[in-house]
Homo-oligomer: A and B are copies of this chain.
Amino acid sequence: MKNKPWDGRFSQNTDGMVERFTSSIDVDKTLYASDIEGSIAHLAMMAHEGIITEDEAEILSEGLKRVKGQIEEGEFVYSDALEDIHMHIESALGDVVGDVAKKLHTGRSRNDQVALDIRIYLKEETRAVMDSLLALQRVIVKTAHRHMGVVMPGYTHMQRAQPVLFSHHLMAYYEMFKRDGQRFEDSLKRTDVMPLGSAALAGTTFPLNRELTRKLLGFAAISDNSMDAVSDRDFAMEFISHAAICMIHFSRLSEEFVLWSSSEFGFITISDAFTTGSSIMPQKKNPDVSELVRGKSGRVVGNLMAIMTIMKSLPLCYNRDMQEDKEPLFDTVNTLRASIDIYTRMIPNIAIHGKTMEDAANKGFLNATDMADYLTMKGMPFREAHSVAGRAVAFALARGVELLDLSIDEMQKFSALIEKDIVDFLTTKNMVSRRLTHGGTAHDRVREAIAKAAVELNMELE
């Protein structure tokens, strides 16, 4: 009747519904490779310290590799009764190597084992995220470089504000994703800590060499407090929180791509391969990828709220609630990586309509600020100049024209300081060129920014 590794004191079998309810195997099988990697290092360390023999370590390690092979070849049978991936592997190991399998669990507990497995998994995934963010940044920089010179309206409050270079706008996202990469680099430091040897909560009586395990697994440090080591899920909360910020960046970029590919904007066309149509409306070409990524930002924010609510108010040390940490974490990793990859692939497949953008920049009084600047330059205080330009805008608006459609005579009614040179002063191109402060949209500044980014990314600009 008894069959659990912990049922010595139990007189009843586990209820079937309970087995299903408490089983985590559907989710934590993701950790199989990390689990086996951790076990092999644990064995090597124990052999080195004489806790088990070299032969035992050899047999068990080879057995674990065979189990890994079974899993990867799809031959593995999962069962709720075996609860989690750790018990599955240990049980399969028993089938492969016999009774000696029981030695694998010496000096460790599922509490420090699962903490180790998640950290191995998350270190690898964090690095993959950082790499793919770099690939995305390269695509952004290349696109900014290719379209250098295209002018578009810059917006505030979704109203046309001042003309900017399209490349400048795009490079704003370079900055965002760069910060994302830095955040992941920072959180990686706190993930890169080896918890094995903390056992259930108090450390263990076996003479483990934790420093050796660390070295074998390539961790940067070992944990300093066993109770913290098995209770801590900061690394998961921190990763998901950084992922949420990154997904919010994607939601902003997606919002812009959705708007820009509308009939109203017409700034870009996403290629057929990255859009879908409608089963009922033949003309539709929808920016589904951007919409979905925007929606998925909600998913990751939800994951963050889930893990924070889960961890809230848990007393030390391990509580079973913490089993629920994995799904939000794994889902976040998968969602984030898929979003980065699909954007990296999609951006080069977007046609930029420079002429439409520039036409838009020429309409909507984007030169009103510069008219005020012009008057200031000629000696009028800025606040007054702002008011003059505002009145000129109101006048032109009522006539349904732009400022440059007014004659010099008409303009001079607003201020005698206005002369012919204002026409050249207020062209879109000249307005862009004059914004020369560091970080500004002037061509020279944007070229510098692109060149600097190329150096940071170690890439060549064609």
Are A202 and B440 in contact (CB-based, < 8 A)?
yes
* Complex partner residue of A225 from B172, B305, B323, CB under 8 angstroms: B172
Minimal beta-carbon separation of A216 from chain B (angstroms): 15
Are A259 and B438 in contact (CB-based, < 8 A)?
no
Are A161 and B200 in contact (CB-based, < 8 A)?
yes
* Complex partner residue of A7 from B163, B261, B390, CB under 8 angstroms: B390
Are A282 and B386 in contact (CB-based, < 8 A)?
yes
Interface residues on A, range: 35 or more
Contacts of A277 in B (CB 8 A): 4, 6-10, 390
Shortest 3 CB-CB distances between A and B: which pairs? Answer: A8-B390, A203-B440, A302-B306
Cα-based distance from A276 to B22 in the complex (angstroms): 9
Are B205 and A435 in contact (CB-based, < 8 A)?
yes
Minimal beta-carbon separation of A271 from chain B (angstroms): 6
- Given contact pairs A6-B277, A157-B286, A295 touches B320 in the complex (Cβ within 8 A): yes
Which B-chain residue is minimally distant from A182 (CB atoms)? B190
Cα-based distance from A34 to B220 in the complex (angstroms): 40
Binds B, one of A58-66, A69-77, A231-239: A231-239
Cα-based distance from A324 to B13 in the complex (angstroms): 40
* Complex partner residue of A241 from B159, B241, B345, B449, CB under 8 angstroms: B241
Binds B, one of A35-43, A131-139, A360-368, A405-413: A360-368
Chain A residues touching B, majority SS:
helix
- Given contact pairs A157-B286, A345-B17, A305 touches B307 in the complex (Cβ within 8 A): no
Contacts of A372 in B (CB 8 A): 282
0/1 per residue, A162-180, Cβ < 8 Å to B?
A: 1110001101111110010
Are B364 and A263 in contact (CB-based, < 8 A)?
yes
Are A279 and B109 in contact (CB-based, < 8 A)?
yes
Most chain B CB inside 10 Å of its own CB: which residue of A254, A274, A321:
A321
Pick 12 A–B contacts, CB within 8 A, sort by A: A4-B277, A21-B289, A110-B280, A197-B437, A200-B369, A226-B440, A248-B311, A291-B320, A295-B320, A298-B309, A309-B309, A313-B313
0/1 per residue, A309-345, Cβ < 8 Å to B?
A: 1111111111111111001100000000010011001
Contacts of A439 in B (CB 8 A): 197-198, 203, 210, 222-226, 229
Cα-based distance from A383 to B287 in the complex (angstroms): 22
Minimal beta-carbon separation of A123 from chain B (angstroms): 16
Minimal beta-carbon separation of A29 from chain B (angstroms): 16
Is A389 an interface residue, CB under 8 A from the partner?
A: yes
Is A284 an interface residue, CB under 8 A from the partner?
A: yes
0/1 per residue, A1-34, Cβ < 8 Å to B?
A: 0001111111111110110011000000000000
Are A390 and B434 in contact (CB-based, < 8 A)?
no
- Given contact pairs A11-B272, A301-B309, A310-B299, A161 touches B281 in the complex (Cβ within 8 A): yes
Minimal beta-carbon separation of A183 from chain B (angstroms): 7
Apart from A153-B263, A199-B440, A211-B438: 8 A-B pairs, beta carbons within 8 A: A14-B273, A161-B284, A168-B226, A205-B434, A225-B449, A238-B245, A277-B390, A301-B309
Is A294 an interface residue, CB under 8 A from the partner?
A: yes
Minimal beta-carbon separation of A33 from chain B (angstroms): 21
Is A441 an interface residue, CB under 8 A from the partner?
A: yes
Cα-based distance from A135 to B69 in the complex (angstroms): 46
Is A192 an interface residue, CB under 8 A from the partner?
A: no
Contacts of A429 in B (CB 8 A): none
Contacts of A292 in B (CB 8 A): 21-22, 320-321, 323-324
0/1 per residue, A366-378, Cβ < 8 Å to B?
A: 1011111100100
Cα-based distance from A169 to B231 in the complex (angstroms): 11
